[in-house]
Structures are given as C-alpha cells and as structure tokens.
Amino acid sequence: MTKEMLQNCGKCGLCLNACPVYKLLKEEQASPRAKLQLIKAYDNNTLASSALLKEIVSKCLMCGSCTANCPSGIDHYSKFMEMRKKMVEDQGETPAIKSLIYLLAREYRIKFGANLARAGQKILPDSFAENYKLGNIPLNNFPTLNTTPFRKASDTIILPDKKQVGTVLYFTGCATNYLYDDTGFATIGILKHMGYKIIIPEDQTCCSIPLLFHGAADKAFKNITTNINAFKNHDVDAVLVDCSTCGEALKNEYPRLIENQGQNPFDTKKIASKVMDILSFIDQHFDRLEFDSTLVEKLSVTYHAPCHTKNNFGAHIIAENLIKKLPFLTYKRTPDFDECCGGGGTFFYEYPDVSKKMVDKKIENAKAVRATYWLTDCPVCRMNLAGNLNNNDNLQVLHPVTIIHSALKQI
C-alpha cells in the first residue's frame, strides 16, 4: 500500500464498530484508524520504532473486518502485515513465536513438531494438563493430534462413488493434516458421494498465513512457491479449502506476494480464481447430496461464522443457509453468530485476557440457545471455542462437513 492510500483514511470511525478488539477495550490506540495514523507517522519518520508501537500493531486479530467495512477502500490487512514485518526487524520477536515460525516454514519441521506434541500429550500428567494453559486454553482441552497425518492416511488421487462429474483439488492445511482429520475424511466422503474425483497433492504444505501475520514474509515464500508448484499442473474445476483462512492466503495473498516479488503471477492467479471454501461448494452442488431417509430425530445446532469466512469470502450467510436447509438439523442462531471468537491465529496465546472475554461471551450465547452441536469452519475457532468450554456445557464443536457427512445415504 502506498503512502497516498494511507492519506485516504478520513478517520470516519466506521472501523471502530467493526473491530472486535476496539469494541472490547474501547481504547483509541486499539482502533484500526489509530494504527493507520501510527503507521503513517512511522513511514514519515516522525515516530520512532518502539516495543509499544510493536505491541499496538500486534494487538490485532487480523480478521479483516476493518478492510471489509472501510468506505475509502483502504487495505488495512496488507498494511498491518507490512508494518508487523518492520516491527519484527526493529524489535525482534518472542521465543515462542520465533519457534512457531521456524516450525511452519518447512514441512519436515511441522511433522517433527507434531510428533513431539503427540508424544507430549501421551506422557503429560493429567494434573499438569488440567492446570497449565497455553494462552487461555488448558492443555487438556487441546485436540488430540491425529495418530497419522491426514495426507499420509489418504491417497493422492481418490475416485468418486458414482459417475464422475468433475475433478477438484483439496488443500488440507496444517490443522486438518495434524489435528482434525475428521474434517478431512468427511470432506472426502462428501466429495466422493457427489461424484467428484479428488486430488490431494502430497507436496502441499502450510499456507503460510501465520508467518505473514508475524512479519515473516521472507520465510513464507518457500512454502508459497511449494504450494503453487504442487497445484499448477492439475486441471481441476475448483481448489477447495476447509479453512477460510487458508483460502484467504491462496486467493488473495499469494497473487499479491508473487507480484511484489517481480515474478509472473499467471499460475498463481489461475489457482486463485478457482479457490472456494468447501461449504460454498457443497451449497452450489446441493442437489448432488442424498441423505439417509431413516433419520427422524433432528439434531440441534448453532453456527459460529469465522472472520475470514465472513470478511474475505463473504460466505458466512451461504454457510448459515446451507445449515438451515439440511433436513436433519434444527438451526438455532445466536445474536453474535458472526462476531469474532478471539482465536485469531495466535491471538488467544499472545493476548489471553482479551481473547478470553471475547470467547466467554460467545459461549454464553451459544449455551443460551440450547444447541447440542456448535458448527464452525475454522480450525482455530474450533480450537478456541472447544478449548474454553467446560465438561458440563454439553456442547460439541465440529466442522459442518462432519455432521453433513454423517447423514449421507450410503451408496
């Protein structure tokens, strides 16, 4: 973003009501417009770099709400990422975030970290897991890592259960691969049922959004080119994601970064044009679904719309309407179904007090509608929501595809 674009900020304040952090803290420095003014002052050399400036810029969920609601068309999202990079160069980064970036920058390191975490989950005493928290989430509330990484447990080419109607590429992301394989197997089951051939490139790796959020664009570029090379030679109808944050990376960040590197963006833009979230794809081809007619009792569900589903794909209403028309569900909407849960990648770890207040409000409203299942299509949202529930809350958090797949007619 140019300095001229920053001048377009009229300080109108529409971003205040859109920003989850500002709405909670009611501090001007937490607002998107304040961050833009501080960035402008820094760029003009009238404001020095400092630890406080880094914290102000970092205390942001990177949800994209300010960009989506800005009447001047300012891309806060990209500018905040650029500023975070400068702040890391100036002020450094915490050891925990450095370690995360190091792991996510190479697939073999992610595998090593997942194996280490899996072993840790087995040997940690229950008393320690109950009392020690990572951010605002007790360790015993974190999901158990997949016994086998999802991509290793799946074929790279999967044929449909019926006559083939098309071919799709499935980008699994890190969470499905290492944490939530139920999402992956349900996605495959639905696509096979609908008649789609599925390609799961074995060379795919982290989408790199966590690296970009923490100012490590240079380290992210290896992953980005790896994914582009893994996808570009496949002729498919759609590139599907089960996580809208991964989808945001593939659809919007990859083309921008490739162009900024002075490289030919043709392959990247071709891939980006086909990126679609799985719930929108299912809704678009809803007539291909056949449900088990013996299901009589309806399941009670509510839905949490992730920020990137709402702000980058505009698909939260599509997802909600899809849930509403599923014949085996009774949908109960909460008044804040599309408000941020406070997960925000590593936000729940870096700013646990702020995140906790946000997620507790979500939980209170979800419990009030007396649903049995809480559906959400973001793995970090799922982790944050489930991680802050108590055992007696009687509310199970799932990706919508899991419950859709469970109701399909056996072919």
pLDDT per residue as tens digits for the range 8-36: 787 888 889 999 999 999 999 999 999 99
- Same domain, residue pair 7 and 86: yes
pTM (two decimals): 0.93
- Same domain, residue pair 358 and 304: yes
- Same domain, residue pair 346 and 363: yes
CA dist., res. 71 & res. 318, Å (int) = 24
pLDDT band at 126 (very low <50, low <70, confident <90, very high): confident
- Same domain, residue pair 105 and 52: no
Residues ≥6 apart with Cβ < 8 Å to 294 = none
Q: Which of 160, 233, 147 is nearest to 195 (CA)?
A: 160
CA dist., res. 154 & res. 138, Å (int) = 31
Residues forming beta bridges with residue 166, ordered by sequence position: 196
- Same domain, residue pair 133 and 61: no
Q: What is the average per-residue pLDDT within 298-304?
A: 95
Contact criterion met (CB below 8 Å) for 303 and 341: no
Contact criterion met (CB below 8 Å) for 304 and 381: yes
Residues forming beta bridges with residue 330, ordered by sequence position: 300
- Same domain, residue pair 163 and 122: no
- Same domain, residue pair 272 and 308: no
Per-residue pLDDT at 6: 67
Average per-residue pLDDT for the chain: 92
- Same domain, residue pair 195 and 228: yes
What is the spatial order of strands in the sheet that 196-199 belongs to?
A: 157-158, 196-199, 166-171, 238-241, 275-277
Q: Which of 181, 174, 184, 229 is nearest to 206 (CA)?
A: 174
Please report, for the domain that includes residue 178, its CATH number: 1.20.1050
- Same domain, residue pair 168 and 278: yes
Where do the H-state alpha helices sit in 287-351? 307-311, 316-325, 347-350
* 204-250 tens-digit pLDDT: 999 999 999 998 988 999 999 999 999 999 999 999 999 999 999 99
CA distances, 161 to each of 193, 200, 249, 401, 411 (Å): 6, 17, 31, 17, 7
Q: Which of 279, 281, 303, 312 is nearest to 78 (CA)?
A: 312
